[in-house]
A and B are shown apart, each in its own frame.
Chain A
Amino acid sequence: MIPNRIRTSLVATLALLGLAAHAESPTDPQGMTSRVAACTACHGKEGRATPDGYFPRIAGKPAGYLFNQLVNFRDGRRQYRPMTHLVDHLSDDYLREIAEHFASLEVPYPPPATATLPAAVLEQGRTLVTKGDPARQVPACVQCHGTAMTGVAPAIPGLLGLPRDYLNSQLGAWKTGQRHAAAPDCMAKITARLTPTDITAVAAWLAAQPVPVPSKAVARSALTQPLPLDCGGVQ
């Protein structure tokens, strides 16, 4: 028979242990924060910031999208040597866990950078993002990425809160065949129809938009129309 007092403290200890398993302290060497220290050196504390204006924010992006990108780097569909080197020998399970870790973080966004390009360029960007260009069969970005442009769970990323340089280089890389997604690669088809000026305009306008609250990706059911193209990464 265990005395009551001891039993209570035992239960309390067990409860604390249980809590510790869920809410890790940031300094716990076995916690996820420690395990992803290699990521946050570039992507910023909690994956939120971009000190030199290039590395994209990863905190709060849809887990499916982040997982797809990690696998794409590992399997050579995306080319960025430092990323490929890091994830080279990591299993799908672990990459999914890392993706879910960053997806679960809710950290506030800084205000967007002030747009420096002429108003006409920004207007061209806004039109392409919100309306597309039916004459060239370019769908509007919002058709897939959501009207709020915060992405669609689980695999379509948001487009806001990213550095202009990063947006520019990703769209450019898709157009030149440096970046790929799982086939059918819908973004490759869309960027093939864009001119370099279109890409500059879209990136400039997107980078100048504030991130709405809530900033999370919306559910697939929030899309009013079916996706305009087949995308391998979005099943």
Chain B
Amino acid sequence: MKRVLTWGLGGLLGLLALGAASIMWLDSADAPPSANPRPVATDAATIERGRYLARAGNCAACHTRRGEAPYAGGEALVTPFGTVYGGNLTPHATTGLGQWSTDDFWRALHHGRSRDGRMLTPAFPYPHFTQVTREDSDALFAFLRTVPAVDRANTPNALEFPYDSQLALKVWRALYFQPGTYTPQPAKSAEWNRGAYLVNGLGHCAACHGVRNAMGATIAGREFDGASIPGQGWYAPALTLAAEGSVAAWPVADVVGLLRDGVAPGTGAGVIGPMAEVVARSTQHLSLADAQAMAVFLRDLPVRPAAEPPRVRPADPRTLDRGAKLYADQCATCHGERGEGQPGAFPALAGNRAVTMADPSNLVRVILQGGYGPSTAGRPRPHGMPPFGHVLDDADIAAVTTHVRSAWGNAGTPVNQVQVVKLREGRD
């Protein structure tokens, strides 16, 4: 018995040692920055390119607070593990990146490590940014050097134990992160490869659209399968499902329109909620060629077969009646009596995937808080949806969403009051 125990213990210790050794080995892949970093480019073309890339990566989403100085940090990002705050990227000597070199910046982007070697939380999407080329990294850094320096100390992250520890990050990285570069696929066109580089790298689209595991890592092969956005109460649709956000059947021009103008010219689909923010801050600034490249890649994503529809109790006739009446009173003026919408102004609800998709979060969210699409060059004066959160109660919203999901040939599942309560209160 004692021998068995000793053997077991020895084995366990051996495994631990092996684990630690492999972690150390993987860790040592992050070479410390050289003593002679590349100089920071100061030519206008590189700086302009860096500015363009900063927008393509939507750096401001986390690194610029509303109404405050650009890239001075402080914006909160809610994760299931706690809240993370974007850092100060301005060249301020003590609170910003003033002391950083091009190598330090590359190390952060490519290896997920800060200048002092500290491992960064992957809420900073370095598992995606690791694919960014050194040339693009240097251009980004050259641009950030030109941003006015702001003296703003970083807000410490508020992560729960143990996610706030370097040890936890070490384990996480050993399991889920390896620095990598984008490897072009020779079977695909140069345009497709450019699109893949932008979508998977700086664009970090999978940060919202990808399915994550319990440890918050994006599951390989499920980067575009759709996911709820923590803390926001919105759902990033699957780009691999015909019933959600797949664009495989769209012309390239529609995908480009959605990304650059916030509206697809052919289908009339528009963006609202978090994707409106992405268009406003990031994709509207893409060059036509880059937007087209992304469209080519996104259209080529595999389309998964639709899942079996969940078995749910059909809505009772009283709920449907209530929903139909509310619709006639509150919605029909703009969206039409048969959900046909008004082209160029108010979207059709009949046959609208955003209305019928399995997760009803976005439909409920948009009724609760309304919203405008973004002002863009292609659509400077968008129409808007009024908020109904203070006009309709939870049962009303459940009834009207159930109605629009099942009327006019729509085949969405009913929405119950509990789902609405959760979306209203918890935002998640």
Contacts and interface: CB of A to CB of B under 8 A. Distances in A.
B70 interface: no
**Interface residue SS majority, chain B:** loop
A89 B384 contact: no
Contact of A29 (B276, B277, B346): B346
Given A76-B67, A82-B369, A94 B381 contact: yes
B125 interface: no
B389 interface: yes
A42 B207 CA distance: 35
Contacts of A76: 65-68
B344 interface: yes
Interface string A27-60: 0011000111111111000000000100000000
B372 A41 contact: no
B373 interface: yes
B384 A35 contact: yes
Nearest to B346: A29
Given A89-B375, A90-B372, A29 B387 contact: no
A75 B67 contact: yes
A34 to B, nearest CB: 6
A76 B373 CA distance: 19
* Interface size, B (range): 20 to 34
B280 interface: yes
Contact of B371 (A40, A41, A86): A86
B383 to A, nearest CB: 6
A34 B383 contact: yes
Contact of A86 (B380, B384, B388, B391): B384
Interface string B381-403: 11111111111000000000000
A190 interface: no
Contacts of B174: none
Contacts of A36: 384
Interface residues of A, number: 29
A116 B21 CA distance: 78
Given A37-B386, A77-B67, A29 B344 contact: yes
Given A38-B370, A41-B391, A82-B370, A89 B344 contact: no
A87 interface: yes
A133 interface: no
Interface in B268-289: 276-277, 279-280
Interface string A55-69: 000000000000000
Interface string B161-184: 000000000000000000000000
B380 A35 contact: no
Given A37-B384, A42-B387, A86-B384, A94 B375 contact: yes
Interface of B: 65-68, 276-277, 279-280, 334, 342-346, 369-375, 380-391
Which 3 pairs, one residue from A and one from B, show the smallest C-beta to C-beta distance? A41-B386, A38-B384, A75-B67
25 contacts: A29-B345, A34-B334, A37-B334, A38-B372, A38-B383, A38-B385, A39-B384, A39-B386, A41-B386, A42-B390, A75-B66, A76-B65, A85-B371, A86-B371, A86-B384, A87-B372, A88-B276, A88-B371, A88-B372, A89-B277, A89-B372, A89-B374, A89-B375, A90-B375, A94-B375
Given A34-B342, A82-B390, 13 more contacts: A29-B346, A30-B345, A37-B334, A37-B386, A41-B370, A76-B66, A76-B67, A84-B66, A86-B387, A87-B372, A88-B371, A90-B382, A91-B380
